[in-house]
Amino acid sequence: MGIKIDGKELANRIKLRLKNEVDIIKNNSGKCPKVASILVGNDGGSIFYQNSQQKVATSLGIGFDKVNLDETIEQKDLENIIINLNNDNNIHGIMLLLPLPKQIDSKKVTSLINPDKDIDCLTDISVGRFYKGEESFIPCTPKSVLTILKELNVTLEGKNAVVIGRSDIVGKPVANLLTKGNATVTLCHSRTQNLKTITSKADILVVAIGKPNFITADFVKEGSVVIDVGTSSLNGKITGDVDTESVLEKVSLVTPVPGGVGALTTTLLLSNVVEASKKYVY
């Protein structure tokens, strides 16, 4: 019988370490790590996420600036706000919540963020650094996947890892991070043939396809580790891509949804703020 990974417990463990790190920065420099979270308009999901960021930041002693803007804002005005945040040495991380209103050129606005403050790895420069193996911030959802594996002492080197889903925000960066950890990685997608044959050989299986309960026991290897990144609404409930109860009979570890990967993302986003602040406070 496998174990359900408690993402909230892992997040709390990381928060304790982060809180200690923030206290050290404050004591040594007299300054506080600080993030600006930019919300344009009234998207419900973005409002929820921004409030979650603020709650966690406050609990860690991290400064938090809400930059809430009207959905009718003009392109140039938003650009100027980002430029001003880039030039403000008291702001160490910039989070631009997406989606943006139709009148805004999202790619152009995103590209203005200083890569040294780009805590969610949105700019082309940050993404280029990430894939070239240079110093960069890791997108928080892929970072959550790798953090779970690290915190639970799951060895990557030499292991057969399979990632289902090739999105730019989850699948591809997760595959890149697993490769950096010296796993042998297969990236699968909607056109992959004989999927069960591939996944049933995986020591580590990461699923991010948005199909509720798609992965059942016959997809997984005995004793494997399964990380479920999927979130879909099914019968009014948030549901992952993995049928958790089904695979528990075979796997060693599996992340539930909710309470798995998603429980860590905001905490790890703020860990990037703490890292960013070190370039400015010391």
3 state SS of 96: strand
**Average predicted confidence (pLDDT) for the chain:** 96
Cβ burial of 132 (10 Å; 0-12, 13-18, 19+) is exposed
Relative to beta strand 204-207, strand 237-239 is unpaired
CATH topology of domain 30-117: Rossmann fold (3.40.50)
Phi first, then psi, for residue 249 (nearest 5°) are -70, -20
pLDDT in the model for residue 153:
97
pLDDT in the model for residue 130:
96
Check whether 231 is labelled as a binding-site residue. yes
Check whether 167 is labelled as a binding-site residue. yes
Strand-pairing partners, residue 55, are none
pLDDT in the model for residue 8:
96
CATH topology of domain 140-263: Rossmann fold (3.40.50)
The whole-angstrom separation of Cα 145 and Cα 143 is 5
Residue 171 near residue 187 (C-beta atoms within 8 A): yes
| Domain 30-117 matches domain 140-263 at the CATH topology level | yes
pLDDT in the model for residue 1:
81
pTM of the model: 0.93
pLDDT in the model for residue 147:
98
Cβ burial of 179 (10 Å; 0-12, 13-18, 19+) is middle
3 state SS of 222: coil
Check whether 129 is labelled as a binding-site residue. no
Residue 4 near residue 256 (C-beta atoms within 8 A): yes
Check whether 165 is labelled as a binding-site residue. yes
Nearest in space to 142 (alpha carbons), one of 187, 117, 167, 177: 177
Residue 224 near residue 203 (C-beta atoms within 8 A): yes
pLDDT in tens, 101-151: 999 999 999 999 999 999 999 999 999 999 999 999 999 999 999 999 999
| Segments of the chain with pLDDT less than 70 | 281-282
Cβ burial of 235 (10 Å; 0-12, 13-18, 19+) is exposed
Alpha-carbon torsion, ordered 257, 262, 264, 270, to 10 deg: -170
Containing H/E element for 186? Answer: strand 184-188
Strand-pairing partners, residue 63, are 34
For the chain, what are the domain ranges? 30-117, 140-263
The whole-angstrom separation of Cα 27 and Cα 66 is 25
